[in-house]
Structure 1
């Protein structure tokens, strides 16, 4: 016959009922005791698994919460699901020859270049500019900017460059934009506040700069490059509008990495209950999907190749929304840890029920509160933009 189980029936009681159905009534005390102990062992194991699953879910949600706050994830190792070796094997399988040798060790002043640039706006809306001293662009004007040196973080490098080129001391408050022109050239644009120092005058000209000046209209200057217009515009908007309409201050994290990597927070909505879900890699310990950046190709190339690895050739509609965190701390020893990690948010426009993924990944449904927090990152100016220069 049929066995009806009520929602309040315990696992132990259910097992006893099933055994009774299979073997008839259990009359002896000894047999009842054996059944009870067997049921208890099974349910204890099941509760442990449920507890582990709950703990695992709590850990995933805590990491997402930290990520949305711009903090370091609690991970014990550096995960990479799609290495350059994997990418080259895939290229060879299509009959093409890989252009990037492996393994690739990012090394400052050799095969990677990280630029820092500061866009500082005063109370009058003027931007801090410097007059270049370098022979190739002497006399032209630009933002305080320069290369990140061995042993520096993004904040360290920016403060040094601003002091050397303008004479001013600054407190960096937030990342404004991340730009990349290839897989090996990245520019980290920040803003902040002047806290001290003296503005450099022509009398103090040196090899770093000829002078520094607060400028209301940079169009009136002979500029080294017009690429700074969008940076100045964004900094002025950030400075002049209500900060509640902008992402919270996001400082680059001083954390070493051996590879140049992208972590993906791929978000999707579940149609059945309207809850937000994120994609988790199950290749080893559960973590956000991650790929090594191909230094010889554009960032869009790396992203598309990895998204195809996850979803197959028919990619669901998606668009990189922006940067959630940046981890970088270069090494004093060349190549020891001159990599970095960018974590970017990628919303998928189709509902979860209509998207297929391979078996190495799975969707995890977020709590309603965390899902709402994640959705806020999709609003205008609520995330640091990623600009891929073509």
Structure 2
């Protein structure tokens, strides 16, 4: 759904009016969960203030749901009407096709230098930055304090603790002792969180896919044998459980533990759930890294408005605007200046545990043009690895072969 109702307007190219004004067009994702908190409100205010300070530049923003926004941009580009900017989930395909400005062409040096390095590095293709981080989040293990108290247990710090806690919760009749959403909605996230906690991840040390490493197979074997096989993940098979459904069950008090991002805090509080959050446990203690997620801003070259885009993006990434957006949607700032302000502010205490995880977080391999296809394969297949008769080695091996083939076909390089 177009939150601004601007589908027809955005079908055309950006241009200049007869008065010499340049009109920039931005397509952005909607982070709100209703019309009352749609991102439209954020962009309306930001654009109004920007235009008041910058004569000669108008900005039109089309806001679309996350279900539609990536496809909308793809459609516009294919039709030869690329927007000037897009704030969406992936940039690598457009960068590889030569459609994007480099970040240093559309950002001033101080603004570019202010990005958190772990985020800006993830915006690179062949060591050149095209993706500009826009919003970030990390994951923590959420647990229901009431259910934990009733079971007489403490939050886990190791996998063995987690399994023991889940057993205790099951004995108390908890519906989902540990909710494991490996359904098609966002299985690539839950998978990556577990691979990292097992000491590995999607890539090896050289930036190549390594999905079926011994550690990764061991991680999913443990999940299959120690959680799923012992009935500790609830009545819905992990391969059919989506993240949104798992979150909803947590807000109903039916889940003992699950991996969650900051938005779950607000939803749980609204339903009166007493919860705590701890770092994801690892095999023998706290995991060395957690999963981070970043959404991206990119600037298309087609309309040639480099100077005007630069003025607008420098404004977008001003500290007050970065903080405003982050606080509005319980997200983490992508700039060092805004992160420092948030870390020191009592009003942002809820986000502090997530912010602490960010420097050591690992992001999806979004610099690979093959990642979108690999991610889609993971969503379809990974649930089978922990299902009845499933083989982690076989499923991860199949995913690895497909990933290598896709990587070779696209010539991906992180």
TM-score (norm 2): 0.25
> Normalized per residue, which structure has more strand?
1
For CA contacts below 8 A with separation 6 or more, give which structure has more relative contact order.
Answer: 2
Q: TM-score, normalised by structure 1?
A: 0.26
The structure with the largest alpha-carbon Rg is 1
